[in-house]
Chains A and B, each alone.
Chain A
Amino acid sequence: MTTKITEQDETRASLYWWFASLFSQELTAEQLKQYRASPLGQGRALLNALAEQKEFNDAANAVITALDNLVKLPHPELELAADFSQLLLTDLKTGAPPYASLYLDQKGLLFQQPHDDMQALLQDQGLRITPDFNEPADHLAIQLDYLGNLILQTSTQDPQAQHQFIQRHLLNWLPQWVTRSRQVRRNGFYPALAQLLLQFIEQDSQQPQPVAAHI
C-alpha cells in the first residue's frame, strides 16, 4: 500500500531531518558556506524563509545573527564545532546533552525509560540506529529522524500518530533542554537553533482536534 504524501508533509519531514542533521554532526567548512549570506547559500535561504514567517521571525533571526557573528571570527567552523561540543557532546556541567533521559528521569542518568520507550518504537518499526551513530535512542537527532519517517509513513492516513509522538516523546522534555541550552555560556548558534526547533514543533503540533473529540 502506498501512502499519499502531501507536499506539506514532505516539507515537514525535510525540516525535521534538517534539524536532526544539525544536532547530530558539526558543520564542515563547506557546509557552513551554505549558511553564509550569499545568493548561493541554500541554508541561508531556508533560514530567511523561516524568518519571513511571523511564527519564527525572532527565532530564525537569532540563528542568522549568531551565524553572522560567527563568520567574523578567524575559524568559524571550528568555533561552531567547539560550540557543538560544549553544548551537545560533553556533559551537563558544560552544556545541554540532547538526551530525553537526562531531563525526564529523576536519577539523572542516561539510557533510562525514555530511551527504552524510543528503542521499543524503533524495534516495532523494524528500525535500528546506524552503527556510525552509536548514540542512545533518546538522542534528540534520532527522535527527529524518526519523526521525519513517521510523517512520511502516516502522512494523511494517521496524522494523529505524529501528534502523539511529538507530545509524548519530544515536547515532554524539549522546553527544559532549550532552557538549559540558553544557560550555556559563550554559545550563540545552537541555543538559537534549539529555540527555533522548539517553536517549530510547537506550531507543528497545533493541529485540529481529531474528529472523535468533537462527538
Chain B
Amino acid sequence: MTISRRSFLKGIAATSAAGLIGPSLLQQAVAAASESPGQWQVSGSHWGAFRARVYAGKVQEIKPFEADSYPTEMLKGIKGIIYSPSRIRYPMVRYDWFLKRHQSDTKQRGDNRFIRVTWDQAIDMFYQELERVQTQYGPWALHTGQTGWRQTGQVHSCGNHMERAIAMHGYSVKKVGDYSTGAGQTIMPYVLGSTEVYAQGTSWPLILKHSKTIVLWGSDLVKNLQVGWNCETHEAYEYLEQLKEKVAKKQIRVISVDPVRTKTQKYLNCEQQYVNPQTDVPFMLGIAHTLYSEKLHDENFLKTYALGFEDFIPYVMGKSKDKVEKTPEWAESICGIAADDIREFARLLAKQRTQIIFGWCVQRQQHGEQPYWMGAVIAAMLGQIGLPGGGISYAHHYSSIGVPSTGAAGPGGFPRNPDNPDDRIHKNNDFKGYSSTIPVARWVDAIIEPGKKINANGATITLPDLKMMVFSGCNPWHHHQDRNRMKQAFQKLETVVSVDFTWTATCRFADIVLPACTQWERNDIDLYGSYSSRGIIAMHKLVDPLFQSKTDFDIFTLLAKRFGKDKAYTQGKGEMEWVKQLYDECAQANKGKFEMPDFATFWQQGWVDFGKGENWTRQADFREDPEINALGTPSGFIEIFSRKIDRYGYDDCQGHPMWFEKAERSHGGPGSDKHPIWLQSCHPDKRLHSQMCDSEAFRATYTVQGREPLYMNPKDAAQRGIKDGDLVRVFNQRGQLLAGAVVSDDYAPGVARLQEGAWYGPESEAIGALDTYGDPNTLTMDIGTSQLAQATSANTCLVEIEKYQGDAPAVTAFGGPVEIS
C-alpha cells in the first residue's frame, strides 16, 4: 500500500502548532540597488597589509598589498579567521556560574556547558562581579594584567580598552614582562643598558656590506619575520635575498648555531653548528676560554667599554670557587661540539668582522638570562660592538628590525589609562601587603600559593590571592606552561571573564565569554612597519560585526556605562572620530618632516608612504664616546660583571654569566634517562602564536591526520617503530598529548619540535586528560627562569614519544571541519 500524500499529517491541525511559533525570522527587504562585483578595500594585520574584495556583505577574495614584495602565505588564512566555525557568536555564561555565580563548582570549568545571555545580562554580570570583588576583597583579588598579541589597529587595541575601563572602576593587579622575552628583557638592561629584544638593530645594508661572518644563534629569521607587532611590511626579506646571494658567492659566511636545521638555514643554504639543546652557555664559555687563552680578545675594547672582565675571567680559567676550568674539552662533554671545533669557531669569530644575531628561544629556558649575558660577553671580547656589521643583536627576527627606519612618528593609541588617574569609582589602592605588580608568568603560582614570597629582579614579590581574572584578546591557555597545573589553579578562581572573537581554550575555561568582532569588522588605523616606520595604513571595515559580536570599544563602553563613566571612557567620541584623531595627531607630529594628506584623502587612498629609511649602526654612538653616550646600565658601560645582580645574592643568577645545570636536560642531562627527548616549542611557521590555528583550510595545509605536527629525528622514530605520518603520543610526568609525526633529519637525535600556539583540546576537563591536538604546553614546566627574571622556561622540557595504538579520540580543539564517523 502506498501512503497517500501527506497522510502523516492526519489529525494534526495547523492551530495545534500556532501558539508555539515564535516571531518570524524573515521580513520584507527594501529593494537593494544592484551591487557591483565588489570593491577592493585596504586593511592590515600582523601578517601584513592586504586588499580584500567585499561583495554581498562577504569578504570574497584577499590579495597582498601592492607595496608588499614578500607577502606571507598566511594571508590565505585570513578568511578562515573571519568565517571560522569557532567564532564566538553570542555572549555566554558558564552554566553553573550562571546559577551560583562566584560560588559555582569550578571543577566544571572547561566542560563546555554554557548559557546564552543577552549583552545587557552579560555586562551586568561582569560589572556586578567587579563590584563584588572590589568591595568584598579589594584590588589585590583582581588580575587584569595579562595581555597578549592583540589584533592590530591602534584605536581598538583590546588590552588598552580592557585596562582603561577596568581602571576607571578600580585598581587591580598588573604584570611586568612578557612570555616572549621575559628573561632577555630583564637581564639585558643590566648588561647593555636596554631590553635589546625590542630595540632597533644595525641596518641590514650595513651588515651585508661589512660583515664577513654572521652567526645566527637560535634565530630563524625566515620563519619569524612573516609576522609583526603592527602591520608588517616584510621589507627584511629583500635583504635576506641579498644575503643568500652573498652566501652563494662565499662573500659572507653564515653559521646557524642550532640543534635544528632551520628554515633560514635551508633558505640561505648556509652552514649549521649543531649544539646540544640548552647547552649554549658551555659552548660560549669554551669560546671565551679559547679567545682568552689564544689572546684573541680585544683588551683595549674591554678596558674602554666594559666593566668586570677581571671578575669574570677567573671563572672561565678555573680560578673561582668552582675550580672548574671551562676549557673546550670541558664544554665538549656538555654541548656535544668537539673541542677543536669550538676553538676553530672562536678563531673564526675573532678573525674578521662578525655579527652575532640571537633569537629568543635560548632565553625561554631555565636560566635563560645566561646565554644572552654570555653572548654579550663574547661580543665584548671580540671588540666589535658599535661597528657596522659587528657586535651583537637580539631581535633581527622580529618585526623587521634591521630595516632602516624613516624616523617618522606612527599613530598613537586609544588611551590605556584613565585620563585622570583619580577618575575611578573605587579609590581603594590597598593591596593588603600583596604585590600590585607580578612577573607575567607567575600568576598561576599566585593562584596556587597566594601569600608566597618570591624574589624577582631585586624585589620581593608577595603573590596576591587572586579571585577574579579578566582576559581580552589574550589566550594564556596557549602561552602559559603546564596545562594540568593551570586546570588545578583555575579551580581556585571565583570568576573568569574572557573577551575574544574565537573559542580559545581560555574562553572554554572562563565563566563569562564575550564575543568581540575580528579586526576586519571595524575601522582602524595602524603603523606600517613597527620599526621601519614605512607608513600609515588604513584599516577599512570589510564587513559588519558577525552574529552578536561587538568591537572592544563598544564592549568596554557598555561596561563603563554601568558605572557612569562611558562619556569619560570614550571622551564623547565614536570609532571614526578616534581613527581621525589618531591620524591628525600623527600628521601633526610629522609636520615639517613628513607631509601627510588630509584624513579623507588618506582614508580613500588607504595608506601614506614615508619611503625608505636611513642606515644606522647599533651602539655606534657609544663606541664613539662612551662617556657622553653612556649605555643605560648602572655604570654606563657594558657590564660583564654586574654588582647590582651580585648584590641580590641569587644562587641561580649571580654576578656574571655562568653555566647552571637544568632541571631537565637531554643528551645525558638530568631526567634524560626517563624522558630522553628534548621538546622545543618555538614560534610557529604558519601561525602567529595561537592566532590562525582556528583557520580550518589553512591549518589543514600542515596538520598530520588532523593533529599538530611533531617533528622528530629518523633514528628516534625508528627506535620507537614510528613512521612519518603516524599518530604519536607525547608524554612526560606533567601531561600527555596526541600529535602527528613528521620524521625529518632536520632534527638531531634527541630533539623534537612542537610549535607553540597549537590549540589545547583536552578529552575532558579532568586533570591529566589527553590533549587531542598537540599543544606543547601540556608538557612544559611552569617554573621561573631564575630569581632574576622569573620568566617562562618553556624550552626546558623533556618528553618520551610512542606510536599511538588503538582508536584515536577526535580532535576537540576546534570547531570543524565535520568528521562523521
Contacts and interface: CB of A to CB of B under 8 A. Distances in A.
B503 interface: yes
Contact of B25 (A43, A126, A133): A133
B26 A17 contact: no
A81 interface: yes
A89 B11 CA distance: 34
A92 interface: yes
Interface in B615-653: none
Interface string A7-39: 110111111011011001110000100100000
B820 A18 contact: no
A134 B548 contact: yes
Interface string B88-126: 011010010011000000000000111110000000000
B87 interface: yes
Interface in B1-44: 3, 5-6, 8-29, 31-32
B146 interface: no
Contact of B85 (A24, A45, A84, A92): A92
Nearest to B694: A91
Given A109-B80, A110-B84, A110-B87, A55 B8 contact: yes
Interface residues of B, number: 62
A107 B696 contact: yes
Contact of B697 (A99, A109, A149): A109
A85 B6 contact: no
A176 B820 CA distance: 7
A115 to B, nearest CB: 8
Scoring B9, B86, B116 by chain A CB atoms within 10 A of each residue's CB, the highest score goes to: B9
Nearest to B548: A134
Contact of A119 (B20, B21, B56, B114): B56
A86 B112 contact: yes
Main secondary structure of the interface of A (DSSP, over half): helix
Contacts of A134: 546-548
B20 A102 contact: no
Contact of A85 (B24, B26, B87, B114): B114
A145 B650 CA distance: 70
Contacts of B813: 93
Scoring A7, A86, A90, A141 by chain B CB atoms within 10 A of each residue's CB, the highest score goes to: A90
A101 B761 CA distance: 23
Contacts of B711: none
A62 to B, nearest CB: 17
A192 B63 CA distance: 45
Contact of A93 (B10, B26, B92, B812): B812
Contacts of A203: 6, 8
Contact of A21 (B20, B85, B98): B20
Contacts of A123: 29, 32
A82 B503 contact: no
Nearest to B114: A85
B58 interface: yes
A78 interface: yes
B11 A52 contact: yes
A166 interface: no
Contacts of B16: 42, 45-46, 49
B46 interface: no
A207 to B, nearest CB: 6
A21 B15 CA distance: 15
A34 B19 contact: yes
Contacts of A81: 115-116
A102 B5 contact: no
Interface string A73-99: 001001001101110011111100101
Interface string A145-184: 1100100000000000000000000000000100110000
Interface residues of A, number: 77
A52 B9 CA distance: 10
Contact of A176 (B14, B503, B546, B818): B818
A83 to B, nearest CB: 9
A89 B83 contact: no
Nearest to A10: B14
A174 B27 CA distance: 25
A159 B763 CA distance: 47
A213 to B, nearest CB: 15
Contacts of B99: 75, 78
Contacts of A8: 6, 9
A97 B815 contact: yes
A46 B17 contact: yes
Contact of A92 (B5, B28, B92, B816): B816
A25 B23 CA distance: 10
A142 B32 contact: no
A14 B84 contact: no
B687 interface: no
B19 to A, nearest CB: 5
Nearest to B56: A119
B673 to A, nearest CB: 38
Given A46-B17, A89-B90, A109 B85 contact: yes
Interface in B792-821: 812-818, 820
Interface string A56-67: 100000000000
B115 A49 contact: no
B261 interface: no
B116 A49 contact: no
B665 interface: no
Nearest to B30: A128
A18 B6 contact: no
A107 B80 CA distance: 9
B79 interface: yes
Given A53-B10, A116-B56, A126-B31, A15 B17 contact: yes
Interface string B556-575: 00000000000000000000
Contacts of B29: 122-123, 126-128
Interface string A183-215: 000100000000000000001101110000000
Contact of A126 (B20, B28, B85, B115): B28
B92 A21 contact: no
A93 B814 contact: yes
Nearest to B696: A108
Contacts of B818: 92, 102-103, 108, 176, 180
B26 A145 contact: yes
Contacts of A20: 21-22, 25
A50 interface: yes
B820 A91 contact: no
A125 B12 CA distance: 29
Nearest to A133: B25
B763 to A, nearest CB: 11
A2 interface: no
Contacts of B31: 126
Contact of A109 (B19, B79, B116, B761): B79
Interface of B: 3, 5-6, 8-29, 31-32, 56, 58, 79-80, 83-87, 89-90, 92, 95, 98-99, 112-116, 503, 546-548, 696-697, 761, 812-818, 820
18 contacts: A11-B13, A42-B20, A78-B98, A78-B99, A86-B113, A89-B92, A89-B116, A90-B503, A93-B112, A93-B813, A93-B815, A97-B815, A106-B697, A108-B696, A116-B56, A122-B26, A149-B26, A180-B820
Given A15-B17, A20-B22, 8 more contacts: A14-B15, A46-B17, A75-B99, A93-B812, A127-B29, A128-B28, A129-B25, A142-B25
A-B pairs, top 6 by smallest CB distance, nearest first, are A108-B817, A91-B815, A21-B22, A128-B29, A108-B816, A10-B14
